[in-house]
């Protein structure tokens, strides 16, 4: 699995100064990187565009949301290096159903930057 990272892959990554978060690759970008979003606990001020529950992934223990505001592009080589160093851990990929939900709701989220909405729209159009 490490040799080939794909859309739908999930990985646990430390994001100082906070904690570790589960990131999900939801689209490739035009520059060879991956567009990734992270999962976080649902709180009163959360973006509720995409709520995921225990049934959506084995990592999820309670209602969680996709944090579109802090979406980022990550170079796949960096992810692989972090995994080899033990600073990042691969998890089971999200189901196609959950992935589609995360992608579709990203387009409607008011907190996702427009440049990422563009990547996402182009990718969704091809699926």
DSSP state of 59: T
Q: How far apart, in whole angstroms, are the C-alpha atoms of residue 62 and residue 78?
A: 29
120 part of a folded domain: no
1 in any annotated domain: no
CATH number at residue 56: 2.30.30
Q: Which two tokens stand for residue 11?
A: 């990985």
pLDDT tens digits along 63-90: 999 999 999 999 999 999 999 998 899 9
Residue 109 included in any domain: yes
Asked whether 39 and 64 are in contact (CB, 8 A), the reply is yes
Q: How much is the pLDDT for 116?
A: 93
3 within a domain of the structure (yes/no): no
The whole-angstrom distance between residue 18's C-alpha and the CA centroid of its chain comes to 17
Asked if residue 30 belongs to a domain, the reply is yes
pLDDT in tens, 92-117: 999 999 999 999 999 999 999 999 99
Give the chain's domain count: 1
Which pTM value belongs to this model?
0.92
* 74 inside domain: yes
């Amino acid at each position: 699995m490490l040799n080939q990272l794909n859309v739908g892959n999930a990985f646990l990554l430390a994001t100082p100064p906070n904690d570790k978060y589960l990131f999900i690759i939801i689209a490739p970008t035009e520059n060879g990187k991956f567009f990734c979003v992270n999962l976080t606990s649902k709180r009163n001020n959360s973006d509720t565009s995409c709520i995921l529950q225990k049934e959506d992934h084995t990592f999820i223990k309670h209602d969680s949301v996709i944090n579109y505001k802090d979406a980022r592009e990550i170079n796949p080589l960096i992810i692989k290096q972090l995994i080899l160093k033990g600073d990042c851990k691969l998890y089971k990929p999200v189901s196609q159903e959950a992935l589609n939900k995360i992608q579709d709701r990203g387009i409607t989220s008011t907190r996702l930057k427009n440049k990422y909405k563009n990547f996402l729209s182009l990718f969704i159009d091809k699926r």
